[in-house]
Structure 1
Amino acid sequence: MFLIASILTFAIYFANVLSGAFTGTTFIGDVGEMLVLLAATVLFVVAILKREADRNKKNGG
């Protein structure tokens, strides 16, 4: 779930970058872009830590 949310937020960030590169207009400002990228990063880290905890629990660690 967290990994999917991370992919979706990164897709929003990437779409904003592509929009700025090709059309010269963006739908998110600089601060908003930073916050979207931060959210994608945090969600990705949470997903990885959760997956690692599940793996350790499965292996009896």
Structure 2
Amino acid sequence: MFLAASIVVFALYFANVALGAFANAAVVGDVGEMLVLFTASILFVVAILKKEADHKDKNGS
């Protein structure tokens, strides 16, 4: 769930950057881009940590 959310948020970030680069029509400003990228990073880290915890529980180590 967190990994899918991270992918979606990063896709929104990428779409905004692409719109700004090619069409000069960015929806979000610099601070907004930073917050979106930060959110995608946090969601990705949470997903990886949850997956690692599940793996440790499964293997009992």
TM (normalized to structure 1)? Answer: 0.97
3-state DSSP of counterpart to 2:24: coil
After TM superposition, the runs of 4+ consecutive aligned structure 1 residues lying more than 4 A away are none
Gap runs ≥5 in structure 2:
none
3-state DSSP of counterpart to 2:32: helix
What's the counterpart of residue 34 of structure 1? 34
Query: RMSD in angstroms over aligned alpha carbons?
Result: 0.4
Distance 1:20 1:28 in 2: 9
TM (normalized to structure 2)? Answer: 0.97
Distance 1:2 1:28 in 2: 23
**Fraction of identical pairs, as percent:** 66
Question: 1:4-54: CA deviations, max 9, x gaps?
Answer: 000000000000010011101200111110000000000000000000000
Distance 1:31 1:20 in 2: 14
What's the counterpart of residue 18 of structure 1? 18
Distance 1:59 1:6 in 2: 26
Distance 1:41 1:6 in 2: 7
